[in-house]
Each structure stands twice: as structure tokens, then as C-alpha cells.
Amino acid sequence: MAHDERIAQRAREEMQDLPGFTEKKMFGGVGFLLWGNMACGVNGDDFIVRVGKDGNDEALSQPHTRVFDMTGKPMPGWILVRPEGVNSQADLRRWIDRGVKFTLTLPPK
């Protein structure tokens, strides 16, 4: 499945200057990693955000979100944000910040 390159480019521009930033093709889309841990990415038209298991329920209470489930088994700690949830750069930045904040709690790979 192709990913929405417009969302990916906007996210890339927000993250590219962060220390430890890399980009990797994954999930049929693209992932944005910090020190080897994925913080967020794009799959199809959805924006993927790593929120951690403790942040899962609160993140899913936000508009335009849903469970990240690519294999029939939900992945706690990860959510999908529909395109309308990242239409504005401020909304995209808020989700990126959330993914970055959680990911920076993890040890580098």
C-alpha cells in the first residue's frame, strides 16, 4: 500500500533536524525514528503515532483516531490518526511531539 507522501513530507520537515533522526520504509509506508525507535510514520492515508501503552486510551479519546491494527491484532501503544486529524500543521506537530516525547523515553537501539 502506498503512503500519503504529502503527510510524510510535512512530518519529515518537522523532524529532520532532531538528533538521532532517521527514516525507514516500514508497514508498507514510512517510519520516522529517533535513535532507532519509531516515533511516528505514515501508512496509507493514516498518520501512525507511538504513544506508549499508558498513553493509549487518552490518545484514542482524541478526534480522528483509531486503534493501530494491521494484522487483526491491535498494537497497544500505537494509534492511527486519520488525515483530517493532521490537516493543520499545528495538529500534525502536536501528534509528532507526542510520539517524540514517548520515544525519547526508550533506550537507543
Average pLDDT score over the chain: 95
Residue-wise pLDDT for 71-107, tens only, equals 889 999 999 999 999 999 999 999 999 999 999 999 9
All domains in the chain, ordered by first residue: 5-103 (3.90.1150.30)
From residue 33, alpha-carbon distances to 56, 57, 89, 109 in Å are: 19, 23, 19, 10
Query: Tens digit of pLDDT for each residue in 4-53?
Result: 999 999 999 999 999 999 999 987 899 999 999 999 999 999 999 999 99
- Rounded Cα gap, residues 34 and 1, in angstroms: 24
- The model's pTM is 0.94
**pLDDT band (50, 70, 90) for residue 1:** low
